Amino acid sequence: MTKTYRFTLIILLLTSLVGGCSLLEEEDETLNWTAEMFLQTAREQAEGEYWEEAITYYRKLQGRFPYGTFAEQAQLEIAYVYYKSNQPALAIAEASRFIQMHPVHANVDYAYYLKGLAGFKPERGLLSAITGSDPSAHDTGPIREAFDAYRELVTRFPNSTYTPDANKRLIEIVNVLAMHDVQIARYYHTRGAHVAAVNRAKQVLETYQTSSAVEHALAVMIKAYKEMGLAELGHDAERVLRLNYPHSSYLTENH
């Protein structure tokens, strides 16, 4: 090896070491940060809707300070960031993890509430997505999971700040799930599967008795019974409809 080659190699090695040092300096920017600094920076990033950057600082906080109130708060706020950045599956997973790890935490009620929010967004409700297709093929799992989260919240924390809104959302979810079953009943009816239509409509009456979908379920039953030639059962369903919904438009349709 010539002297010139050795000299060039040394220069290259020194250059790479200097570059490596600069990278280490960049990585060590937060070396002396406190947990409060990580949390504040993460929140600032979230407020600016820099979601990935916010998650990065929250994760760094958890890595540097894995125990204590700041790490717990970071976990909860990560779930919120996932929710705000339209990543509901990750938000639900993070909220569920928080609930599992901190079941008696002072803010666990919020974790349940956030899990519900991520599982069901009314403005993009289920029914808008099932028109013209077989509704039974659509997954209601996330909505049912949201229902369970809200129900746990209102049951365990009746005095929570989030309970009044959770109760309202529970009613809405019940109506959506009930109407989902009505749509399935209607779908069966249009396919001539009258028995299946009646059974699904009955399920609405039995499971969602307080839902506004009951009126629609009864209408399906009336039509299916009459088309099967079961006039008496059809009249019975119609009497129930008339008794509970005297001004129903379905009563006009049946005369």
CA distance 45 to 51: 7
Residue 28: its pLDDT value, please?
A: 61
Domains and CATH numbers, the chain: 35-102 (1.25.40.10)
pLDDT tens digits for 118-162?
998 865 445 554 454 555 556 788 889 999 999 999 999 999 999
Residue 183 DSSP SS3: helix
Neighbours of 70 (CB within 10 A): 19
Give me the sign of the Cα torsion angle 64, 70, 76, 80.
negative
Q: For residue range 50-101, what is the model confidence (pLDDT) as tens digits?
A: 999 999 999 999 999 999 999 999 999 999 999 999 999 999 999 999 999 9
pTM of the model: 0.76
Interval 11-43: pLDDT, tens: 444 455 444 444 444 566 888 899 999 999 999
d(CA 180, CA 200): 10
Are 60 and 45 in contact by the 8 Å Cβ rule? The answer is no
Rounded (5°) CA angle 34-37-41: 150
Predicted pLDDT at 18: 47
